[in-house]
Every structure is written in C-alpha cells, then in structure tokens.
C-alpha cells in the first residue's frame, strides 16, 4: 500500500488535507531553520546558503584553499560560510590574519569542538583540546620536547644518524627511479619515534609501515567533505556508511598501536631515568593526581602522542617531498644550493645547524619551498572565546574561524614575487637572509605550531644532507609536476625521482 492509500484509510482526512498539512510542515521546518541559522547583525557577508546544508555542497574539497582565496575577491577579506548549522568566518590576507590571531590572540585561541574527534576521544591532547587542559598539555609538551633536545645537540645527532640511514637507502636505489614518499615518511617518522618512544624502526618493519599508511590515510580523509558532513550531522552520519567510518577506524587502529607502546613503557619504566616523552608523561600522571582538569592520565597520553605523530610526521615529510619537486623543476637553483653546500661545508663532514647562518641562499630556498608548498593551506580551524569585531564586522563568541594561510603566503601586498618560486622573496639586495612577516606556514598566536623549531631543524638537516650527496632529477622523459592532493595537508601527487650520487 502506498502512503496515499494509507492516509485514505482514515476517513476523516482527505488527500488534499494531507498535502496542505505536509506543505505546512515543510514551511514550518524551513522557517525554523532560517530562524535558527539567522546571521547576527553586522556579521561578515558570504555566498547564498541552502536550507539545512548551508554552503557545504558548494565547497570544492579538492582545492578548497584556492576556492576560498578566490571568494575573498568577491566578498572581501572577512567573509562567512555556513557548514550545516555551523557559522564560520574565513579570514584572509596577512593584515586580517594578524589582526585576528596575533592582535586578538586570546579571543581567537579556541579550537572548534569537532564531533568526529569527540567520537574517537581525540579531544584530550593538544590539537583539539581547549582551556586549562590544553594549556597544561601544550606547556608540558613544549618543555619536554626542549628537554629531549629540540634545538640542542643531542637531537641534532639523532637526526643526523637517521639521515645516514636514509642516504644509504637512497644509495641502494642505484640511480634508478623510486617513489620518495615511503622512504621520507619513514625517516621523518623515526625522528618523532625517537623522541616519543625512545627508539627508531627499521624501514622494513611491517607494523611501522602500517602505522605510517594509516596516518596518511586518516589525514587525507580528515580533510574531506565527509568530515564536514559528520561534524554537521553526527547522529545521521553515524547511521550511514562512508569514508568517515574508515577515518574513524584508522584513528582507532593508530590508538591501539600507541597503547601497545605505552603498555611496553609501563613494564620497564624507571621514573628516575626517563628515556623519552612517554616516560616523562607517566611521571607527570603521578605528579598531577590532584589536578584532574589538567588531563594527565593514560587517555591524555595517548591523545597527546597521537597529536605529535599526526602534526609532526606528515607535515615535515610533505614539505621535504615538495622540496624534491622544486629542486627537480628548477635544476639551476639546485646547483646554486649545492655550490653553497660545497663552499661552506664541503664533502668531508655532514651539515649541522651551526652552518645555517652561513648559508643564506639555502635558507632562502627552504623558506621559499615552505611558502610555495603551503602544506596547511587553510590553517587548522579555531573558534572565538568572546564576542569581538574584526575588520569592522561583528564576530560572536563561539564562531568557527578559518585562517586562510594561503591568502597570507601568497598575499600580493607582502611578497616580491607572490606567485612564482623565487628564493629572492627571502633575500635582501646584499644576498642576506630576511624573513618577511607574512611567512606564517606555522600559523601565529597562542596556537602557533609548537613543533616549529623541530620542523625547521629537520628541514635544514635533511635538505642540505641530501643535496650534499645526491643530485635529484625526474626519470628520463618525464617532467616534475606541481599537481597536488588536498587532505588536511596539501601534498604533491605521488611522483618518481632519481638520485644520482654527486661523488663516487
Ligand atoms: C613543516 C612542518 C610543520 C608545519 C608547516 C606545521 C604547521 C602547523 C600549523 C599551521 C598548525 C596550526 C596552528 C593553529 O592552530 O593556528 C600546527 C599546529 C600544531 N603542530 Fe605543527 N607544523 C609542522 C610540524 C610540526 C611538528 C614537527 C610537530 C611536533 C613535534 C608539530 C606539532 C603541532 C601541534 C601539537 C599543533 C597543535 C597546536 C595547538 O593546538 O596548540 N607540528 N602546525
């Protein structure tokens, strides 16, 4: 029996009455949706929103950063979008991002609560935490990373050891082409592993390989439209199959991997001689039993460690992959970097951090790779802790903020050559290194990336050590491509390269 026949079986309700009733309900639903999602007075302008979904389906997840930057030309540097029932404000240009994240640092330092991360309990670490708990976890992480040598000699020597393993693996390719992704991810991940687990993994270790693949897959899905849909309609999406389920499963498997490592640490933990981040965190758990709000417990440990892997591995390894592509695409720039390496370091020793101030050209090239690579193109969304104004618009407390870092790194008012790969963006007429204020790949303000020093150390040592030993080029008959894939990071599409030893 069809719906109409069922209704007809109630003698007092005619089909016309039912149609009017249905229409009435739809109108009421639309009006209540409009009222619920009404923009506050003087809220930033934005494109037309559709009922219920808002602008979700108009967004192009494959090149969101370009789309948002283009929209800023129509709606201005501060414009709004609605993602389901969530109002968000996109902040564009160096001036506006600075006014929000730096000049109003406290107001803009919230991290938007996110249904998908609540589902997998990822809100107790650093990235998705807020308030007192976030401050404590972030402060502890920064000071522990510092104690384990970020910015110091002992970490530098760990990184150099890992580079030796990597260079040997590259040498084993015998000048044949290879895919850079796996080797670079393994090597960079091992730096995080040595800080967090106190050990590195062999590049052939199956479990380690699985972890890296899960991490990369989870990050790709995290940047997809499915995450937005889940965050807007969590109850409905829980009932539906789709990539959001795969992402949740990837994160759960990663947590299991980390829990095993934590269990193993427990077994031979000696508080008087901490070996790594996990040991220090276990001591902190014991010290903070009377401060539950700080969030030092095993769940917090798992979340914080997961945050370090997520934020610290894919980012640095993606930047290094971009560095290879740019060096293959601009062989004359690669040659100039190699000439500086040969002049300042030579071939008899490995590069070290003390060399950086003497290598302005190489430093400028690395910064230009970070600018053009633009690996966190729309930042990580924030939310406002208070009502405020930005660029003359009213932004209420609890509004989601998207700091469009693409609009800063390519801001035409801030860069000599905003749209082309040009190390001169970071050099003065005397050839000295300069860092323009709009260089914000690590974002800014209270949530600025706490891994910046570590990442900069890794980038300098990996980049110079590889170019000291090898010349990179695309396989014969191919050209390096700047095509990208957008997940939570902007990464190059898988590519092949050859690494020819410079000296036999
Ligand atoms: C080239 C490498 C890297 C880039 C470009 C990068 C960039 C970023 C960006 C844009 C943010 C968002 C900040 C905001 O909310 O505005 C961030 C946050 C974060 N990054 Fe990095 N990052 C890199 C490497 C690392 C490394 C190596 C680590 C860890 C050891 C790390 C740990 C974190 C953490 C924990 C956060 C969250 C901070 C918070 O919410 O308070 N990152 N990073």
Instruction: Please write the tens of the pLDDT for every residue from 161-199.
Output: 999 999 999 999 999 999 999 899 999 999 999 999 988
Query: Confidence band (pLDDT; 50, 70, 90) for 503?
Result: confident
- Mind listing the pLDDT tens digit for each residue in 27-55? 777 776 666 777 889 999 999 988 878 89
* Low-confidence winner among 140-154, 289-303, 459-473 (lowest mean pLDDT): 140-154
How far is it, in rounded angstroms, from Cα 291 to Cα 284? 11
Q: What is the pLDDT of residue 471?
A: 98
pLDDT beyond 60 at 3: no
Nearest alpha-carbon partner for 281 in 129, 155, 148:
148
Q: What is the pLDDT of residue 151?
A: 55
- Mind listing the pLDDT tens digit for each residue in 408-460? 999 999 999 999 999 999 999 999 999 999 999 999 999 999 999 999 999 99
pLDDT beyond 60 at 222: yes
In the reported structure, the alpha carbon of residue 312 is separated from the centroid of ligand 1 by a whole-number distance in angstroms of 7
How far is it, in rounded angstroms, from Cα 357 to Cα 361? 10
Q: What is the pLDDT of residue 229?
A: 79
For the CA atoms of 389, 395, 400, 401, the dihedral, rounded to the nearest 10 degrees, stands at: -30
- Mind listing the pLDDT tens digit for each residue in 454-472? 999 999 999 999 999 999 9
Residue 394, SS3?
A: strand
Residues with CB under 6 A from ligand 1: 111, 126-127, 138, 307-308, 311-312, 315-316, 319, 375-376, 379-380, 382, 441-443, 447-451, 454-455
Q: Does residue 2 or residue 400 have the better pLDDT?
A: 400
Query: Confidence band (pLDDT; 50, 70, 90) for 107?
Result: very high
- Domains (range + CATH), the chain: 37-501 (1.10.630.10)
In the reported structure, the alpha carbon of residue 442 is separated from the centroid of ligand 1 by a whole-number distance in angstroms of 6
In the reported structure, the alpha carbon of residue 109 is separated from the centroid of ligand 1 by a whole-number distance in angstroms of 14
Q: Considering only CA atoms, which residue is closest to atom 11 of ligand 1?
A: 449
Please give the angle made by the CA atoms of 225, 230 and 235, to the nearest 5 degrees. Answer: 155
Nearest alpha-carbon partner for 316 in 406, 222, 449:
449
Instruction: Look up residue 377 and give its DSSP letter.
Output: T
Give me the mean pLDDT over the 104-118 stretch.
87
- Please enumerate in sequence order all residues whose Cβ is within 8 A of that of 336, keeping only pairs 6 or more positions apart, or say none: 361
Take residue 172 and report the two structure tokens written for it.
């084993």
Q: Considering only CA atoms, which residue is closest to atom 27 of ligand 1?
A: 312
Closest atom of ligand 1 relative to the 101 alpha carbon: 16
Give me the mean pLDDT over the 283-307 stretch.
93
Q: Which of 29-33, 92-96, 116-120 has the highest mean pLDDT?
A: 92-96
């Amino acid at each position: 029996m069809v719906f109409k026949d069922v209704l007809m079986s109630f003698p007092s309700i005619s089909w016309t009455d039912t149609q009017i009733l249905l229409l009435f309900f739809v109108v009421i639903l639309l009006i209540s949706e409009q009222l619920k999602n009404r923009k506050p007075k003087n809220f930033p302008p934005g494109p037309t929103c559709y009922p219920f979904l808002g602008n979700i389906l108009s967004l192009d997840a494959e090149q969101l950063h370009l789309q948002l930057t283009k929209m800023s030309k129509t709606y201005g540097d501060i414009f709004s979008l609605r993602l389901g029932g969530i109002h968000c404000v996109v902040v564009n240009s160096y001036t506006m991002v600075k006014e929000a994240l730096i000049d109003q640092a406290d107001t803009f330092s919230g991290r938007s609560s996110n249904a998908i991360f609540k589902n997998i309990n990822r809100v107790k670490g650093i990235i998705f935490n807020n308030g007192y708990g976030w401050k404590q976890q972030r402060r502890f992480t920064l000071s522990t990373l510092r104690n384990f040598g970020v910015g110091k000699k002992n970490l530098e020597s760990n990184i150099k050891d890992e580079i030796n393993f990597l260079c040997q693996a590259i040498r084993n390719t015998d000048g044949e082409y290879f895919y850079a992704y796996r080797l670079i991810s393994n090597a960079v991940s091992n730096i995080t592993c040595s800080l967090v687990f106190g050990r590195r993994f062999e590049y052939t270790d199956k479990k380690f390989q699985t972890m890296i693949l899960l991490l990369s897959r989870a990050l790709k899905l995290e940047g997809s439209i499915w995450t937005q849909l889940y965050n807007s309609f969590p109850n409905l999406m829980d009932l539906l199959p789709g990539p959001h389920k795969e992402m949740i499963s990837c994160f759960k498997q990663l947590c299991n991997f980390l829990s095993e490592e934590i269990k193993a640490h427990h077994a031979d933990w000696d508080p008087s001689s901490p070996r790594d981040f996990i040991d220090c965190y276990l001591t902190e758990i014991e010290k903070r039993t009377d401060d539950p709000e700080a969030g030092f417990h095993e769940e917090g440990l798992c979340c914080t460690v997961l945050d370090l892997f997520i934020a610290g591995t894919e980012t640095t390894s993606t930047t290094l992959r971009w560095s290879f592509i740019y060096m293959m695409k601009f062989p004359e720039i690669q040659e100039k970097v190699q000439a500086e390496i040969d002049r300042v370091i030579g071939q008899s020793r490995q590069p070290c951090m003390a060399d950086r101030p003497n290598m302005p050209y190489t430093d400028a090239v690395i910064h230009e790779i970070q600018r053009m690579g633009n690996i966190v193109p729309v930042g990580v969304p924030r939310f406002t802790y208070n009502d405020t104004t930005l660029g003359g618009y009213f932004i209420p407390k609890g509004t989601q903020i998207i700091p469009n870092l693409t609009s800063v790194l390519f801001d035409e008012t801030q860069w000599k050559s905003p749209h082309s790969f040009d190390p001169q963006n970071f050099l003065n007429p005397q050839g000295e290194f300069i860092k323009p204020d709009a260089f914000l790949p690590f974002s800014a303000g209270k949530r600025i990336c706490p891994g910046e020093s570590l990442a900069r150390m890794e980038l300098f040592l990996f980049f110079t050590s590889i170019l000291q030993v090898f010349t990179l080029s695309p396989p014969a008959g191919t050209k390096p491509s700047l095509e990208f894939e957008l997940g939570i990071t902007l990464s190059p599409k898988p590519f092949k390269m050859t690494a020819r030893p410079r000296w036999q």
